[in-house]
Structures are given as structure tokens and as C-alpha cells.
Structure 1
Amino acid sequence: MNVSILVPENSVMQAVADPQYLFSAVNQFMAVAGKKPLFNVQLVGSKKKVKINDGSFTINTSQLLSEVKQTDLVIIPALFGDMKTAIASNQKALPWINEQYKNGAEVASLCVGAFLLASTGLLDGKKCSTHWGFQNEFREMFPNVEVVDGSIVTEETRLYSSGGAMSYWNLLLYLVEKYTDRQTAILASKYFAIDIDRESQSTFAMFQGQKNHNDEAVKIAQEYIDNTIQEKITIDELADLVSLGRRSFERRFKLATNNSVLEYINRVKIEFAKRSFEMSRKNINEVMYDVGYTDTKAFRTIFKKITGLTPIEYRNKYNKMTV
């Protein structure tokens, strides 16, 4: 099958080289097993020489976009730098991606390559994964696309997307398993030392609080939440603070932040708890009380829902200090 790795202007070098390396290595695994190599891997672009990583490197493409007559899989690597600038410099690739998809190709975006995929319109009304640190910006630019929080791999109607940074390896292994078999995917995961079944990037996510909006009342409430970590905060209390009725406040808060009020409060508190587990010698109960929880079971449940790990698992993973 033909694999076309797009080389966009302002892309990340590793996100171009890694899929080429993986699919080429799988070909070698198959040859050693007495099978015919499956993947014909090509680097394609709008130019023969494409500058990437903000001009720090140049990649030589093997095919121009206009020379690709038929392909089975298009890989869109992660973009580098400002997303709007990167998209603007790759306008020529958008109709090409659409054409390949229309002709039956599958399309996979790696990390923030989702911004380029979404610019084609193919993701409108569909689900998508991208780097957790860019989700707010993505939602603002592409309101018709549903971002799946914390997801490592999302698949919908021949479109694939991955979570942040090195999470794209899990999508690549997912595709290897689809096109070959589980045994080959496991071999590749061992060769590249990748956890093949990691399903969430929640453990790595840092909640930044969606404050890039113009609703001043909601900003006041957010500021209050951020500065009142140790207290139990109620929705009525926040609504009174900004002189709004509860229903109106909840509606405006959700519209501005993409979180319900309670979701936002919990995420702020859990983010503080995460930092405390990473940087202090406090035990689970001390951290729990510091962020305003008194029910151990409730704290554990909310913590695991947001991070994918229990408080103890998180502390053991990220804190090497002796307690």
C-alpha cells in the first residue's frame, strides 16, 4: 500500500521522520519473517525542498503533490510555531488532502497536525484528538469539530488523529496493526519501546483554564475559583459574586470556558493537587484537604477521572522525594 507522508512548511522534523522510520522498519520485520514488504513510503510536498522547524532544517521530498496519482494513507505531521501562520503557508496542501480522501485514501494527523486536517473541512461535525495544550485554540479556530479531551487516538470515517507530542506513536502503531496484524504491531512497539495500549494523555495534561474570552463576569468567577482553592465553592456563591442568576451564570460559564462550573472547579483543584504531589512531601489526605475536599473516595474518583491515575499512582509516578 502507498503511504504518503506530507511534508508541510513549518512542520516538526521528528513528526516527518518517525512515521517514515516506523513503516520502513515494519517492512524490514516482514522481510525477515519471509513476507513481502507492505508499505511504499513517500515523502510528498508542494516543493522538492521544504523548510521545516522554522527554517532550521530542509527535507527533500520524493514526490510533488501533483505527482501523487493514487495513495492509500496520508500522514499529516505536527506543525511548528504559530498555528495560523503554519496553516496559511500550507494552503496548497488542503485541496490535495481533500482530493486524496475523496479518492478513497485514509488520512491521519499527528498531534497538532490536526489543525491542518481541520482546515480542509473534512473534520466538520466529527471527533478529533490533538495536543492537550492546544485544545482551547483548536476549539476557537474550528468550532464545528468536536475535540475529544484526553484521547490518544480518535478514528472516524477514514480520518485519524492523535493526542499530543509523542502520543502520535500510538496512532502509528494503531495503523500498523490495522494494516498488518497484532503481532507485527507488538514487535514494532517493542522495537521502538512504545507502550502500545496507552489510551489517554490525561496524565500529562496541565489544565490552563480557558480565559481567552470576553465575558468579564465569567473571568471574575474564574479568578475567584483560582484564588480560593482550599474552600468549598458553590455555584450560587459564584453567581451572587457576579450578580447573575444561577441559570444565566451557568450558561455563560459553559459558553465561555467549554466546562461546566463544577467541572472547572474540580479541574482547577486537581491541577493544584497534581503540583503538590509533584513538588511536596505531603500525604494524600493533606493534599486533599489543601484543595478543599473532605471525602477521600470522592477526591480519588475525581482525581482519577481527570488524570487517569489514582492520587497514589500519580504521586509515585512523578514525585521521587522520600516521604
Structure 2
Amino acid sequence: MNVSILVPESAVLEAVADPRYLFTAVNQFLQASGKPPFFRVRLVGMTREVKYHNGLFSVQTDQLLNEVDRTDLIIIPALFGDMKRGIQQNEALIPWIKQQYAKGAEVASLCVGAFLLASTGLLDGKRCSTHWAFASEFRELFPAVELVDGSIITEEHRLYSSGGANSYWNLLLYLVEKYTDRDMAILASKYFAIDIDRDSQSAFMLFKGQKDHNDREILKAQEFIEANYNEKIAVEALADLVAVGRRTFERRFRKATHHSVVDYIQRVKVEAAKRSFETSRKNIGEVMFDVGYTDTKAFRDVFKKVTGLTPIEYRNKYYKDALVLA
């Protein structure tokens, strides 16, 4: 199987090296078990050499774009820095990716490599994952793409994408399992010490409400929510606060923030609860009351929906002196 790992300008160096390392290691595992190597891995770029970090590192490509007639899998590494600039620097890759996809190639983006993949238009009307911290910017640039919050891996019509940072290892293991078998993916996961079945980046997400919009009334409502998360906040009261009818308010709020009003309130409250669990010895009930909840079950359900963990699991994971407190 021909694997073409792109070497874009302004890429995360590790996101170029790691997939090459993984697929090469799997070939070695296969050979050690008496089987032939399966992956033919090539670094492909616009130039013979791509320099990173002001020339501190450089990557020698195996092939130029015009030297690749056909490939089976394209890996798009994560970009580094300003995403718009990164897309502009790598515009020459876009038609090549589209041509290879039309010939039958599968395409996988790692982390914010999704910005380059989305620039091809191939993701329009489809689902996609990317780093949680870039979700708002992604939605602004690519409104035709359905971004799946918190997802580690998405797959649709031969297009794959992964969540943030090291989540791309889970996508790479997923591809190894798809093209070889489960046993080989498990072996690779053990060798690289990666949790093979992690399916959410929710526990790592920090919620920062989208405020890069020009709707003053909605911004006022957001600021009120974030300043009064410890209170019970009603949607009707927020609409009255900004003197906008409820239906219009809810529609404008979703358009500006990409969240419903209720979801936004829940996420702000959960974010405050997370910080408390990380830094204090307060028990679940105390934290629950601090963020404006009085129903234990409702609080636990919302917390797990947002983070993927129960309050106790979250505390035990992130508080250095973790105690299992009821």
C-alpha cells in the first residue's frame, strides 16, 4: 500500500515524523512475524527540502508532487501557527490532494491538518474532527463542514480526521487496524504506549465561548452567563436582559456562538466545576452548588456529557492529591 505523507510548509515536525515512524515500525512487526512489509511510505512535498523552525530542522522529501502518479493513502500533518497563513503557504498541495482523491486515494488529516483538508472542498457536507482549541476558527472558515465536537476520529467517504495534538496517534492506529488487523494495531499501541480505543478528547477540552462576532446583545448575554455561572440562569431572563424576543435571541445566540443557549450555560458551569476539581478539595456536592446546580443527578449527567468523565473520575484524573469523594 502506497502511503504519501505530505511535508507541508509550517507543519508540526512530529506530525510528519510520527506517521512515518509508525508505518515503518508496523512493516518491521510484520516481517518479524514472517509476513512481507505492507506499507510503502514516502514523504511527498512541493520541494526537495522543507525547513522548519527557522532552519533549525529540515526534512528531505522522497518525491515531489508531480512524481507521484497515484497513491493509496495521503497523510496531511498538523499545521503550526496561523491557520490562514498555513493554508496560503500550501495552496499548491490542494489540487494534488483533490486529484489523488478522485483517483481513489484515501485522505487522513492529523489534528489541525483538517484546515488544509477542508480547503480542498472535499469535506463540504461531511463530518470532521480537529483540535478542540481551533473549533471556532474552523467553523468560521468552513461553515459547510460539520465539525464534531470532542471527537477523536471521524471517517466519511474515504476522508479521515483526528482530534487535537496526540489524538492523531489514535487515527494512525485506526488506519493500521483497517489495513492490517486488530492484533497488529494492538501490538503497535503497546509498542508506542497509546490507548488504542480512546474515542473522545472531551476531558482535555477548555471551553472558551466564541466571541469573535459583532452581535452586541449576544456578547452581553455571554458575559452575563460567565459572570453569574453560580446562579440558575433562565433563557427567558437572558432574552429580557438584552431586550430581544426569546425565539430571535435563541436563533442569534446559536448563529453567533455555535451553541444553543442552554448548552452554552452548561459548558460555562462545567468549566468552572472542572477548575474547582483540579485545584480544591471540595466534594462533589460543594462544587455542584458553587456552579448553580441543586440536582446531583442532573449535574453528574451534564458533567459527563461535556467531559466524557464523571465528576469523581475527573477529580481523580487531574487533582494531584486525588481523593475519591462522594
User: Does the alignment reach a TM-score above 0.5?
Assistant: yes
Give the deviation of 1:57 after TM superposition. Answer: 1.9
Provide closer, same or farther for how the CA distance between residues 184 and 109 of structure 1 changes in structure 2, counting only shifts above 3 A. Answer: same
Instruction: Determine the C-alpha separation between the residues in 2 that align with 1:69 and 1:322.
Output: 55
Instruction: Determine the C-alpha separation between the residues in 2 that align with 1:53 and 1:12.
Output: 10
Q: Conserved in 1, the CA contact under 8 Å of 2:315 and 2:322?
A: no
Provide closer, same or farther for how the CA distance between residues 55 and 272 of structure 1 changes in structure 2, counting only shifts above 3 A. Answer: farther
Per-residue deviation, residues 103-138 of structure 1 (Å, max 9, x unmatched): 000000000000000001100111000000000000
Instruction: Determine the C-alpha separation between the residues in 1 that align with 2:214 and 2:158.
Output: 37
Number of residue pairs matched by the alignment: 323
Per-residue deviation, residues 178-220 of structure 1 (Å, max 9, x unmatched): 0000000000000000000000000000001111111000000
Residue aligning to 1:302: 302
Instruction: Determine the C-alpha separation between the residues in 1 that align with 2:145 and 2:26.
Output: 33
SS of 1:203 mapped into structure 2: helix
Residue aligning to 2:92: 92
SS of 1:230 mapped into structure 2: coil
Provide the TM-score with structure 2 as the length reference.
Answer: 0.98
Provide closer, same or farther for how the CA distance between residues 224 and 55 of structure 1 changes in structure 2, counting only shifts above 3 A. Answer: farther
Q: Conserved in 1, the CA contact under 8 Å of 2:316 and 2:322?
A: no
Per-residue deviation, residues 272-321 of structure 1 (Å, max 9, x unmatched): 00000001111100000000000000000000000000000000000022
Residue aligning to 1:207: 207
Q: Conserved in 2, the CA contact under 8 Å of 1:8 and 1:52?
A: no
Give the deviation of 1:53 after TM superposition. Answer: 4.2
SS of 2:203 mapped into structure 1: coil
Residue aligning to 2:230: 230
Instruction: Determine the C-alpha separation between the residues in 1 that align with 2:291 and 2:235.
Output: 17
Residue aligning to 1:316: 316
Per-residue deviation, residues 240-297 of structure 1 (Å, max 9, x unmatched): 1000111111110011001000000000000000000001111100000000000000
In structure 1, runs of 5+ residues without a counterpart are: none
Equivalent AA in structure 2 for residue 256 of structure 1: A
Q: Conserved in 2, the CA contact under 8 Å of 1:53 and 1:80?
A: no
Instruction: Determine the C-alpha separation between the residues in 2 that align with 1:322 and 1:187.
Output: 32
Matched, 1:187 2:187: yes
Give the deviation of 1:20 after TM superposition. Answer: 0.1
Instruction: Determine the C-alpha separation between the residues in 2 that align with 1:234 and 1:53.
Output: 49
Q: Conserved in 2, the CA contact under 8 Å of 1:10 and 1:54?
A: no
Equivalent AA in structure 2 for residue 154 of structure 1: T
Give the deviation of 1:56 after TM superposition. Answer: 3.8
Residue aligning to 2:140: 140
Instruction: Determine the C-alpha separation between the residues in 1 that align with 2:50 and 2:96.
Output: 17
Instruction: Determine the C-alpha separation between the residues in 2 that align with 1:188 and 1:54.
Output: 33
Provide the TM-score with structure 1 as the length reference.
Answer: 0.99
Q: Percent identity?
A: 70
Residue aligning to 2:266: 266
SS of 1:11 mapped into structure 2: coil
Instruction: Determine the C-alpha separation between the residues in 2 that align with 1:257 and 1:55.
Output: 39
Instruction: Determine the C-alpha separation between the residues in 1 that align with 2:277 and 2:317.
Output: 10
Equivalent AA in structure 2 for residue 43 of structure 1: L
Residue aligning to 1:11: 11
Instruction: Determine the C-alpha separation between the residues in 2 that align with 1:26 and 1:120.
Output: 30
Equivalent AA in structure 2 for residue 299 of structure 1: F
Give the deviation of 1:230 after TM superposition. Answer: 1.0
In structure 2, runs of 5+ residues without a counterpart are: none
Q: Conserved in 2, the CA contact under 8 Å of 1:75 and 1:108?
A: yes
Residue aligning to 2:119: 119
SS of 1:4 mapped into structure 2: strand
Per-residue deviation, residues 24-72 of structure 1 (Å, max 9, x unmatched): 0000000000000000000000000012346542111010011011110
SS of 1:44 mapped into structure 2: strand
Instruction: Determine the C-alpha separation between the residues in 1 that align with 2:161 and 2:322.
Output: 39
CA RMSD of aligned residues (A): 0.8
Q: Conserved in 2, the CA contact under 8 Å of 1:129 and 1:151?
A: yes
Equivalent AA in structure 2 for residue 74 of structure 1: I
